[in-house]
């Protein structure tokens, strides 16, 4: 029988069944202040990128570098970026030729950004969207978490989105880190790379990290303001379809996805969403789209999802 509690469309990752980090490779003694760098993929972000870079430059704990990859913007974004590059030596800009429709999350540009990181000067890499803002102590708060917890592999803050003229916290399970802002410890990144380029990439990296013994977590004391809420640029129907495609990409168990759709039936406004969720996953199978290629990660994810359906211990508490 299915668990009576609502089933979120997120991974069930059990601490008890994770691969344990190898001594001397994953867990290392923290004996100095960690250093961080930032990468930002952009395209046509003239309304947001200036505000985001102002937030970066106002941080009490400054990054070693900020690398912005412009994926062929046709608005005033290049002009704005040039002004900020002249303003601060921290900011570097790479401009790509515009090449068709931009992938979700800027992933056609983010791989270029990852290649620009000087890992000799970086312990933590922050992958940030252009449409976010944050307070002056945002990075200091998250770096403190990395400093005190050597098995913390991926971290993020608490996303807030505007609703009815007010900023509202979008709470997720504590282990989930939203794609708009992710910080990776270098050793964790080395274990899970490359970061995916399809819908669901921000769940795939968590699945890999947890499978290999790393902790992933979002923290309430690091607040992020997201000025373009998830799904607003694609529409609600396409959002649910994309969630189904993401589930396929990560390797979700089909039974779990079906159960998630059934759980939406009592909420009449979500019935269509449940149908589109399943449709998106089926589409992935029918089109034989790319998906997670690490069998141990898929097995890990599906085992935890079945545990959830059977009411066993998972990270969903």
Identify which has the larger pLDDT, 208 or 12: 208
pLDDT digits (tens, 9 = 90+) for 275-296: 899 999 999 999 999 899 999 9
**pLDDT band, very low/low/confident/very high, at 54 (cuts 50, 70, 90):** very high
Cα gap 235→226, rounded to integer Å: 17
Give burial (CB, 10 Å; 0-12/13-18/19+) of 246.
Answer: buried
Cα gap 196→204, rounded to integer Å: 7
Model pTM score: 0.84
Quote the pLDDT of residue 316. 54
**Domains in the chain, CATH or no CATH each:** 16-226 (3.90.550.10), 234-309 (no CATH)
**pLDDT band, very low/low/confident/very high, at 51 (cuts 50, 70, 90):** very high
């Amino acid at each position: 029988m299915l668990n009576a509690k609502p089933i979120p469309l997120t991974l069930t990752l059990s601490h008890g069944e994770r691969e344990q980090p190898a001594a001397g490779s994953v867990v290392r003694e923290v004996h100095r202040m960690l250093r961080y760098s930032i990468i930002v993929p952009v395209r046509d972000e003239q309304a947001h990128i200036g505000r985001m870079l102002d937030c970066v430059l106002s941080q009490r704990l400054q990054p070693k570098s900020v690398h912005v990859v412009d994926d062929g913007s046709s608005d005033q974004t290049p002009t704005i970026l040039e002004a900020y590059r002249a303003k601060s030596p921290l900011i570097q800009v790479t401009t790509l030729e515009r090449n068709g429709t931009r992938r979700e999350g800027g992933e056609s540009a983010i791989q270029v950004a990852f290649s620009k990181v000087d890992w000799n000067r970086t312990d933590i890499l922050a992958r940030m969207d252009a449409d976010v803002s944050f307070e002056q102590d945002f990075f200091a708060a998250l770096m403190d978490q990395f400093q005190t917890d050597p098995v913390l592999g991926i971290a993020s803050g608490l996303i807030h989105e505007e609703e009815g003229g007010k900023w509202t916290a979008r709470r997720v399970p504590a282990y989930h880190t939203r794609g708009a802002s992710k910080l990776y410890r270098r050793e964790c990144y080395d274990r899970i790379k490359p970061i995916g380029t399809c819908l669901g990439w921000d769940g795939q990296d968590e699945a890999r990290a947890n499978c290999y013994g790393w902790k992933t977590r979002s923290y309430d004391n690091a607040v992020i303001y997201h000025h373009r809420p998830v799904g607003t640029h694609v529409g609600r129907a396409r959002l649910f379809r994309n969630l189904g495609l993401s589930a396929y990409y990560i390797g979700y168990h089909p039974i779990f996805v079906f159960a998630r759709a059934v759980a939406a039936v009592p909420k009449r406004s979500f019935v269509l969403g449940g149908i589109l969720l399943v449709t998106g996953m089926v589409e992935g199978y029918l089109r034989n789209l790319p998906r997670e290629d690490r069998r141990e990660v898929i097995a890990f994810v599906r085992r935890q999802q079945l545990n959830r359906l059977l009411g066993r211990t998972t990270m969903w508490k």
